[in-house]
């Protein structure tokens, strides 16, 4: 950990830390894209159609795979056909409610090719839709619900992302949800928590190493092609 996160320092009245890493893996919903309004609207409609209260779903849904949530509602819904139908509804009927997390395009498009990827609990249909709307440079890997046998908080997705990009043990995971933070930590990453869905204190309590409000608080300061190391500078993190 100490080789990744520098000691805090003060610059122009702001607390600053550096993160020295070999690569980055990003969650999607709540981390790259503010899609919570879409997801809430879709689950609320689904709950009402199936005679359950929306909160019985929403209180335990964030960061988890749709198939697992559907199973909680009724095991008969826990198949790929229902998953694809539900996530297609999110994209087609509620997609315009989604907005990029501030600073995402600038940060991600500054990262060298092959040094970043996406690990999401969403299916390919929703991941492709959000990536198209975000207009980012191509990711080195995009892992969706179809690529794992166990969803977050299981670290399987992040471990696969790390292996696919050939990252060292010094890598970052960006996450906003409890399940995702735990998955990143179990994969051995330094977790940058996003205070987008929950407040900074809550995300820190999830276990995130540092927390930022959005991507405008982090920038790529340097990249050494010889060592394959990047240095990210974080301004005013919650630690």
User: Could you say which DSSP state residue 113 is in?
Assistant: T
Strand partners, 100: 33
Which residue matches tokens 């980055």? 24
Strand partners, 119: 143
Residues 18, 27, 72, 170: which is the catalytic one? 27
Question: Does the annotation mark 29 as catalytic?
Answer: yes
Question: Does the annotation mark 79 as catalytic?
Answer: no
DSSP string, 49-98: HTTS-HHHHHTTTTTS-HHHHHHHH-GGG-SHHHHHHHHHHHHHHHGGG-
Within 10 angstroms of residue 227's Cβ, the number of other Cβ atoms is: 9
- Catalytic residue numbers read 27, 29
């Amino acid at each position: 950990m100490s080789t990744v996160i520098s000691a805090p320092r003060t610059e122009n009245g702001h607390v600053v830390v550096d993160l020295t890493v070999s690569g980055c893996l990003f969650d999607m919903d709540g981390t790259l894209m503010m899609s919570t309004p879409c997801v809430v609207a879709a689950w609320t409609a689904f709950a009402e159609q199936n005679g359950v209260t929306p909160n019985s779903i929403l209180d335990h849904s964030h960061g988890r795979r749709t198939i697992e949530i559907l199973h909680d509602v009724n095991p008969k819904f826990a198949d790929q056909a229902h998953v694809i139908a539900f996530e297609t509804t999110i994209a087609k009927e509620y997609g315009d409610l989604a907005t990029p997390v501030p600073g995402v395009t600038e940060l991600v498009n500054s990262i060298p090719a092959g040094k970043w990827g996406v690990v999401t609990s969403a299916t390919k249909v929703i991941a492709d839709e959000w990536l198209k709307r975000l207009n980012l440079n191509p990711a080195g890997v995009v892992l969706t619900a179809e690529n794992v046998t166990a969803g977050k908080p299981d670290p399987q997705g992040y471990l696969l992302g790390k292996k696919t990009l050939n990252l060292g043990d010094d890598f970052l995971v960006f996450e906003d949800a409890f399940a995702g933070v735990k998955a990143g930590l179990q994969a051995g990453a330094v977790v940058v928590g996003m205070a987008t869905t929950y407040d900074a204190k809550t995300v820190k309590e999830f276990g995130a190493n540092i927390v930022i409000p959005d991507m405008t608080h982090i920038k790529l300061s340097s990249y050494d092609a010889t060592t394959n190391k990047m240095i990210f500078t974080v301004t005013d993190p919650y630690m």
